[in-house]
Amino acid sequence: MPIALVVHGGAWDIPDDEVAPHRAGCRRACDAGWHVLQAGGSALDAVEAAVRVMEDDPIFDAGTGSVLNVDGIVECDAAIMDGASLRSGAVAAVQRVRDPIALARRVLASQVVLLVGAGAERFADAAGHPRCAHTDLIVPREVVRWHDVRARLAHQPRQAFERPLGEVAGRGIVAGPMGTVGAVALDAAGHLAAATSTGGTGNKPAGRVGDSPIVGSGLYADDETAACSTTGWGESIVRVVLAKTATDLVGRGMAPAAAAGAAIEILARRGGGLGGCILLDRGGRVGYAFNTPRMAHAYRCGDGPVVDGI
């Protein structure tokens, strides 16, 4: 069975001066996941390794470097799913965790599927999972963006000020990052896995949870069809259950490239949203699509080289 791995580093209007670090970060993440697969590791371990690299890379909206919420702090969502068992683990609105995907992996090994906020943090502490300071996750770039967004939204009605930035952007009021990172993998045993991690949307309300930790929306993996990770405006992605929509299209016989395109068309037409997805089927065929100006991504299949794009 050929091994394969795809990663994304967010679909949005990535500025020109951030293109090179986004591409390089995706390549590093792809390399990390690939080493796991090449050594005979599982697809689950590979997607976790790839996403952890991007959570640690401050260029991405996940872990360190995440966008700031309305209170000016980082709150993260992450999920991981095993295509063999359909088991998943997720955390949402979690604070002071550098590697939310690793915490989600611990949830996967537990009896529940999703822990949020203070409960997720208590679970982390009980498991001895490392915590950090709020300030460890905040980078100067996002502080500047946060002040900029708040200054611009100060002239909008109060309800606009409190909306997640992605939704505001969808109404043409202001544009901004709608990042997120993710990975899908196929291991030598023929198993698929998916993982997604995000700081969400800029200036989001405290406690706002997007699509990323929601099975079927932010990710899906089923050994009988495909694995998918999504990125973009979470509120619209949830409307069309984007990841399950994409993998179902593969299940109905579509090639991953066509299925990814069709899923993003549904996101735009029925969900009214912007975003992207990466898709990998059980034969190791890759698909990806986005309706944003850019989506950072990289992939590697079988004996081929790493391919990156944006």
Residue 1, classed as helix, strand or coil, is coil
Least Å from the CB of residue 106 to ligand GLY: 21
Is 201 among the catalytic positions?
Answer: no
- Candidates 26-34, 123-131, 145-153, 232-240: pick the segment binding ligand GLY (CB under 6 A): 232-240
What the block records as the tokens of 257 is 């490239």
Asked if 231 interacts with ligand GLY (CB under 6 A), we say: yes
Q: Which residues are 116's β-sheet partners?
A: 92
- Residue in 197, 212, 245, 292 binding ligand GLY, rule: CB under 6 A: 212
* Dist. CA 160–CA 223, nearest whole Å: 42
Question: What are residue 187's phi and psi, to 5 degrees?
Answer: -95, 175
Please name the helix (run of DSSP H) or strand (run of DSSP E) that holds residue 24, with its range, or none. Answer: helix 16-38
Cβ closest to ligand GLY, residue 84 vs residue 137:
137
The b/e string for 212-223 (b: 16+ C-beta within 10 A; e otherwise) is: bbbbbbbbbbbb
Asked if 216 interacts with ligand GLY (CB under 6 A), we say: no
With CB under 6 A as the rule, give the number of residues binding ligand GLY: 12
What the block records as the tokens of 163 is 């909306």
Least Å from the CB of residue 174 to ligand GLY: 16
- Nearest 10 degrees: CA dihedral of 91, 95, 98, 99? 0
Asked if 66 interacts with ligand GLY (CB under 6 A), we say: no
Asked if 200 interacts with ligand GLY (CB under 6 A), we say: yes
Asked if 211 interacts with ligand GLY (CB under 6 A), we say: yes
Which residue type does 236 have? S
- Candidates 30-38, 122-130, 208-216, 254-262: pick the segment binding ligand GLY (CB under 6 A): 208-216
Asked if 197 interacts with ligand GLY (CB under 6 A), we say: no
For residues 62 and 181, is the Cβ–Cβ distance under 8 A? yes
Asked if 180 interacts with ligand GLY (CB under 6 A), we say: yes
Binding site for ligand GLY (CB under 6 A): 166, 180, 198, 200-201, 210-212, 231-234
Residues with catalytic function: 180
